[in-house]
Chain A
Amino acid sequence: MMTDTSDRLIRDYLDELRARTRDLPKRRREELLAEIEAHIAEALPPTASEAEVRDVLDRLGDPEGIAAEERERLGVAPKRAGALEWIAIALLLIGGVIVPVVGWIVGVLLLWTSSVWNTRDKLIGTLVLPGGLLFPLGFGFVATVSEACHTVVGGAQSCTTSLGFWGRALSIAIIVVITLAPIVTSFYLAWRAKGSSAVEA
C-alpha cells in the first residue's frame, strides 16, 4: 500500500504543476496534467515505497521546468512579475499601516489574483502576518503606554508598569518576532516572484 506520505508527495507535486501552468490554455493544461498523472501511475506499482515515489518525481523534474517547456512549445509568452506583484508585496507589508486594515486587504486580493505565486506562497503571504506591520506597531504602542512614567510632586520620576522584568523581555521578544516575520515574508515573496520569471529568462 502507498503510504500517506507518498500520496501527499504526489498530490503536492501535481498541485505545484497545476499552479505553475495557470497561464496556459485550459485544454492544454488539463491534458498535460492528465499525462503527468498517468505517468506517475504507470511508473509506480501499488506497493511503491516512499523512496521510489521521490525518485519518479525527481526524474519528472521541477514543475516550473515542465511549465516553461510547455510555454515554449506552445509559443505562450512567459509570465513575469509586473508592477502589480510589487504593489501587492508593498501593500501586504505597509498597506495596513497607511490605510488601516483596508490597505492590507487590497494587498491580499492582489496576491491571490497573481499567477506568479503558488498556493503555498499565497498562504504564507496571507498568514505571516495578517495586517503586515500594523500589528507589531499596534503592539509596540500598547506596550509603551502600559509603562507610564509621571513626575510626582518634588521632581522625582516614578514609573509604573504592569509588566515585570520578564514581562518586558517577553514583550520585546514578541515585538521583534512579529516585526521581522512580515519583513521576511516580503523578501520571500519577492524572491519567489523573481525566481519564476528568471527561469524562463
Chain B
Amino acid sequence: MVAPVSDGLPSQLRRGVLEYCVLALLRDGERYGFELVHTLGAIDGMVTSEGTLYPLLGRLRREGVVQTTWRESDAGPPRRYYQLTAKGRAALDGFTGEWTRFRDAVDRVLGQRRGR
C-alpha cells in the first residue's frame, strides 16, 4: 500500500530503522533510558512520540542487543543504563553498511529523470 507521507514516513519503515538509531547512540558508551529517549525525541522527524521509545527499548533488551544495569542517581529514582552487547555491535555494523548502500540506491532512483 502506498500512503501519502504527510504524516511522516510509513511507520514500519521508521520503526525498523529506529532500532539501529538507538544502537548507534550507544556506540560510544552507555546512556540511561531518559537520556536516550530525550536525545532521539529532540531529533526532528525521528520519532512520533517519546513514550513509544520505551516499548522499543524493552524489545532491544529481550533480543539481547543491549544490556542494562541499574545505578543510583544523585537526584531522583535509580537510572537504568544501556550498553551495547557484542551482538548489538555486530547488528549495528551490519546495518550501517547496508543502510549506506540502500540509501544511495534510493537516492539514485528518486533523483532519476527521463532521458538521462
Q: Is the CB of A59 within 8 A of B49?
A: yes
In the complex, whether A36 has a CB less than 8 A from a CB of chain B is yes
State the Cβ distance, B51 to closest chain A Cβ, in Å. 4
Interface-side segment among A61-69, A79-87, A155-163, A182-190: A61-69
In the complex, whether B97 has a CB less than 8 A from a CB of chain A is no
A32 to B61 CA separation, bound complex (whole angstroms): 13
Q: Which residues of A contact B15 (CB under 8 A)?
A: 72
A39 to B77 CA separation, bound complex (whole angstroms): 10
Q: Is the interface of B mostly helix, strand, loop or mixed?
A: helix
Quick one: given A43-B34, A59-B41, A59-B49, are A35 and B54 in contact (CB under 8 Å)? Answer: yes
Quick one: given A59-B41, A59-B49, A73-B59, are A41 and B76 in contact (CB under 8 Å)? Answer: yes
Q: Which residues of A contact B59 (CB under 8 A)?
A: 73-74
A-B contact count (CB 8 A): 68
State the Cβ distance, B24 to closest chain A Cβ, in Å. 19
Q: Is the CB of A66 within 8 A of B54?
A: yes
In the complex, whether B29 has a CB less than 8 A from a CB of chain A is no
A73 to B16 CA separation, bound complex (whole angstroms): 11
In the complex, whether A152 has a CB less than 8 A from a CB of chain B is no
Q: Is the interface of A mostly helix, strand, loop or mixed?
A: helix
Q: Is the CB of B34 within 8 A of A66?
A: no
A53 to B41 CA separation, bound complex (whole angstroms): 16
State the Cβ distance, A66 to closest chain B Cβ, in Å. 4
A73 to B22 CA separation, bound complex (whole angstroms): 15
Listed A/B pairs (18) with beta-carbon separation below 8 Å: A35-B33, A35-B57, A36-B54, A39-B37, A39-B50, A41-B76, A42-B76, A42-B77, A42-B79, A43-B38, A61-B50, A66-B51, A69-B51, A69-B56, A70-B54, A73-B58, A74-B58, A74-B59
**Known pairs A35-B33, A60-B50. 11 more at Cβ < 8 A?**
A28-B58, A32-B54, A32-B55, A32-B58, A35-B54, A35-B80, A42-B34, A42-B76, A59-B50, A61-B49, A70-B58
